[in-house]
């Protein structure tokens, strides 16, 4: 099959199979997305982040942990592009290895937060009644909390560490997803195809998992992308306060915290990891903005 016919297949007036219809939807969204240069920059940043994280062992000269005290606090140059830190470790290498931690954090938070939010939201929206009232009150309570401070208090109780930081962030992040999923479920609930499925005897669990949940996914993914930056910033903040990943882990927030005392004379030590955080969270924000414009043009701001 040549490229042209694949394109024809993707843009056919009438899809002949479920797969084709699905591919067409994705392709048409992609065409709209591709026209948005800002969103494409965001996508590029995120793809680079993932590539760098995957290729870390091959594109770094060190494992980001071994010390080289003869070369401590070297300024950026041809030997060390972004300089070295207080223990002589190459900062670029550490940022590259740190990208794995960043992805680990956002990945872990996502796989905790999305299912919880989705289940609570669609159950509340689909079943309605007092279940809805109860679940949404619960959601509102979590929605109303100051995120960072609650995460700090949680980590204080659980003990500092990357996993506990992730758990604390997840606990304070799931609520908007429940709200979104509920709103979607409310509009889907009364559609004909749900009624049809119900008359065919599909169980409530079946309807929720096979018919309602997939339709909520696009709004949830858009929101997740937009929330990624917040998750990264909160994680970096916790790391900076010493509540997240512990040294010598090359977590970016923790790197800034360690480099803080060298700010005046060796500015690059705390500055470089900060730029990494800025670029990545900017990437997620741009991508999220673009996705929202494609999937939900009405709420664009």
Partner 1 sequence: MASAEAVGPGLVLPPKLVKVTGVIASLILTFIGLTAITFTIGRVMPADPVLAIVGDRASQEVYDQVFFQLGLDQPIYVQYFKYLGQLLQGDLGTSIMTAQPVAEDILRFFPATLELATVATLLGVFVGIPMGVLAAVNQGRWIDHVVRIIGLIGYSAPIFWLGMIAILIFYFKLDWVAGPGRLDVFYDSIVDPVSGILILDAALAGEWDIFHNAIAHLILPASILGTFALAYIARMTRSFMLDQLSQEYILTARVKGIPEWRVIWGHAFRNVLVQLITIIGLTYASLLEGSVLTETIFSWPGIGLYITNSLFNNDMNAVLGGTIVVGVCFVGINMLSDLLYKLVDPRVR
Number of chain positions touching partner 1 (CB under 8 A): 44
Among positions 140, 187, 196, 206, the unique one binding partner 1 when judged by CB under 8 A: 140
Closer residue to partner 1, CB minimum distance, 154 or 212: 154
Query: Is residue 41 involved in binding partner 1 (CB under 8 A)?
Result: no
- Closest distance of CB 235 from partner 1, Å: 10
Query: Is residue 23 involved in binding partner 1 (CB under 8 A)?
Result: no
Tokens at residue 159, please?
């003990």
Query: Is residue 156 involved in binding partner 1 (CB under 8 A)?
Result: yes
Query: Is residue 296 involved in binding partner 1 (CB under 8 A)?
Result: no
Closer residue to partner 1, CB minimum distance, 40 or 217: 40
Query: Is residue 285 involved in binding partner 1 (CB under 8 A)?
Result: yes
Nearest to 273, CA basis, from 60, 65, 46, 90: 90
Which neighbouring-strand residues pair with 84?
90
Q: How far is CA 196 from CA 32, 187, 202, 216, in A?
A: 32, 16, 9, 19
Among positions 138, 183, 197, 215, the unique one binding partner 1 when judged by CB under 8 A: 138
Nearest to 230, CA basis, from 173, 161, 157: 173
Quick one: how far is CA 133 from the chain centroid? 29
Q: Where are the alpha helices (DSSP H) in the chain?
A: 3-11, 18-34, 37-59, 91-127, 129-143, 147-158, 162-171, 175-189, 192-199, 204-207, 213-240, 252-259, 268-295
Among positions 46, 49, 236, 291, the unique one binding partner 1 when judged by CB under 8 A: 236
* Selected range binding partner 1 among 53-61, 62-70, 196-204, 257-265, rule: CB under 8 A: 257-265
Crossing angle for the helix pair 129-143 and 91-127, to the nearest 10 degrees: 150
Among positions 91, 96, 152, 222, the unique one binding partner 1 when judged by CB under 8 A: 152
Query: Is residue 146 involved in binding partner 1 (CB under 8 A)?
Result: yes
Among positions 167, 170, 208, 277, the unique one binding partner 1 when judged by CB under 8 A: 277
* Selected range binding partner 1 among 9-17, 83-91, 138-146, 193-201, rule: CB under 8 A: 138-146
Which neighbouring-strand residues pair with 90?
84
Q: How far apart are CA 256 and CA 271, in angstroms?
A: 7
Q: How far apart are CA 13 and CA 32, in angstroms?
A: 18
Query: Is residue 260 involved in binding partner 1 (CB under 8 A)?
Result: yes
The answer to whether the CB of 41 falls within 8 A of the CB of 51 is: no
Query: Is residue 229 involved in binding partner 1 (CB under 8 A)?
Result: yes
Query: Is residue 153 involved in binding partner 1 (CB under 8 A)?
Result: yes
Maximum distance among all alpha carbons in the chain?
75
The answer to whether the CB of 122 falls within 8 A of the CB of 188 is: no
Among positions 116, 148, 197, 215, the unique one binding partner 1 when judged by CB under 8 A: 148
Query: Is residue 150 involved in binding partner 1 (CB under 8 A)?
Result: yes
Query: Is residue 264 involved in binding partner 1 (CB under 8 A)?
Result: yes
* Total Cβ atoms within 10 A of residue 267: 13
Nearest to 269, CA basis, from 252, 281, 283: 252
- Closest distance of CB 273 from partner 1, Å: 8
Question: Site residues (CB under 8 A) for partner 1?
Answer: 137-138, 140-142, 144-150, 152-154, 156-158, 229, 233, 236-237, 240-243, 253, 256, 260, 263-264, 267, 270-271, 273-274, 277-278, 281-282, 285-286, 300-301
């Amino acid at each position: 099959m040549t490229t042209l016919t694949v394109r024809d297949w993707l843009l056919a007036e009438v899809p002949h199979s479920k797969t084709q219809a699905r591919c067409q939807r994705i392709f048409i969204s992609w065409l709209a997305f591709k026209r948005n240069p800002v969103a494409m920059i965001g996508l590029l940043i995120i793809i680079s982040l993932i590539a760098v994280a995957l290729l870390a062992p091959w594109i770094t000269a060190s494992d980001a942990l071994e010390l080289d005290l003869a070369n401590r606090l070297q300024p950026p140059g041809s030997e060390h592009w972004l300089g070295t830190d207080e223990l002589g470790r190459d900062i670029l290498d550490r940022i590259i290895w740190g990208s794995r931690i960043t992805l680990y954090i956002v990945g872990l938070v996502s796989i905790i937060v999305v299912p919880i939010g989705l289940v609570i939201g669609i159950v509340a929206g689909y079943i309605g009644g007092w279940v809805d009232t109860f679940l949404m009150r619960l959601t509102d309570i979590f929605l109303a909390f100051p995120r960072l401070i609650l995460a700090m208090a949680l980590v204080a109780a659980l003990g500092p560490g990357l996993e506990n930081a992730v758990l604390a962030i997840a606990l304070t992040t799931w609520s908007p997803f429940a709200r979104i999923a509920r709103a979607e479920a409310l509009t889907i609930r009364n559609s004909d195809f749900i009624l049809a499925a119900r008359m065919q005897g599909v169980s409530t669990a079946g309807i929720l998992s096979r018919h309602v949940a997939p339709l909520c996914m696009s709004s949830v993914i858009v929101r997740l992308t937009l929330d990624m930056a917040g998750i990264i910033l909160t994680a970096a903040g916790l790391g900076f306060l010493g509540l997240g990943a512990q040294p010598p882990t090359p977590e970016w927030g923790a790197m800034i915290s360690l480099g803080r005392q060298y700010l005046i004379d060796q500015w690059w030590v705390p500055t470089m990891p900060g730029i990494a955080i800025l670029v990545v969270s900017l990437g997620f924000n741009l991508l999220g903005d673009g996705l929202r414009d494609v999937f939900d043009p009405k709420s664009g701001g």
